[in-house]
Amino acid sequence: MKKRITAALGVLLALTMLPCAAWAEELLVGGQAVGIEICADGVIVSGFCEVQTADGPVSPAQDAGFAVGDLIVSVDGAPIRSAEDLIAAAAAIGGGEAEVEVRRGGAAQRLRVRPALSETKQWLLGLWLRDGVSGIGTITFVEPRSGLFGALGHSVNDESSGRSVPLREGWISAAEIVSVSPGVPGTPGELCGGASAERIGSVEKNTPAGIFGHLGAVQGGRLLRPGEIKTGRASIVSTLAGHEAREYDVEIDRVYSEGGQTHALLTVTDAALSSGAGGIVQGMSGSPILQDGSIVGAVTHVFVNDPRRGFAIGIYDMLDAAGITAQAA
């Protein structure tokens, strides 16, 4: 579907390999809201600004050919891990010229740039930068033996470019939902809450099928076998208040394949979810979909012009991305 009618429901976010859980007959059903923190493997260019100099405004990085979405990974061969690293590098260069390595569309490029001296006596490149992303999303499943979890059902992307954030490291923490901003046609709603400072797990993989990592401790819960998603009645598990995950009725309207993955269209039929949240809202991405006693997928996106309707991904695509082999129910 075209991006103009959909909105990702998770946070705005080089794959690393997870140890394979090898085999899972059953999965712990998620539905819990969590805080998600992602650190990029480099610094992302999110925009340009003018440096006010004695000779007038200039934008050195834009003039040098930088582009929104570029991932800055080194300056004169020295690795760049954070925005602070790049600011320090620009100050060290001073009025000289430096070679900056960026990754653009998966390919490495080298650009030469000379910082400008601002009226406040700082050497600046004229860039807006992003080196991390944080927000609220939903756990889809946990493999009970290994503690390997899956969440979101889609990648964490950079807001400015829409590209997946190359992951250096990341964490999840428990979150409490304090209110819901309901969705209305044209404006997606969102879960409003806060995340605990205590980290409960690591994020080790950011993929088109979701984010994956390991929990520090595995709690008990409902165990279900994975199954194939199909049209008909189903339910989703989400947290709309506090820490309590609840089940809400939906209808799976269509199942289809796209980009080598199984996807579905769904409609919220639950009166409580429709009246309380207007339907599907941001932060609910990753909400597990249950059908015929199996966990079959996860909510991923909402129709911007109709918050009662949304998109989903099949559970087997998430398990494949996580490195889990599972038997169908």
Rounded (5°) CA angle 165-167-168 = 140
**What's the pLDDT at 23?**
61
Render 252-308 in DSSP notation, one character per residue.
EEEEEEETTEEEEEEEE--HHHHHHHSS--BT-TT-EEEETTEEEEEEEEEETTEEE
Tokens for 111?
């650009």
- 209: tokens are 């099928």
Average pLDDT for residues 312-318, to the nearest whole number?
97
Residue with tokens 């992303």: 133
- Confidence band of 17 (pLDDT split at 50, 70, 90): very low
Identify the pLDDT of residue 174: 92
pLDDT at 193: 87
**In this model, does residue 11 exceed pLDDT 60?**
no
pLDDT of residue 296: 97
* pLDDT band, very low/low/confident/very high, at 3 (cuts 50, 70, 90): very low
User: What does the block give as tokens for 286?
Assistant: 């990753």
Q: How many residues does the chain have?
A: 329
pLDDT of residue 4: 28
How far apart are alpha carbons 268 and 7 in whole angstroms? 16
Instruction: Please determine, for residue 328, whether its predicted confidence score (pLDDT) is greater than 70.
Output: no
Domains of the chain are 3-40+132-322 (2.40.10.120), 50-125 (2.30.42.10)
Q: What is the DSSP letter of 63?
A: H
pLDDT digits (tens, 9 = 90+) for 246-268: 999 999 999 999 988 999 999 99
**Predicted confidence (pLDDT) at residue 5 exceeds the cutoff of 50:** no
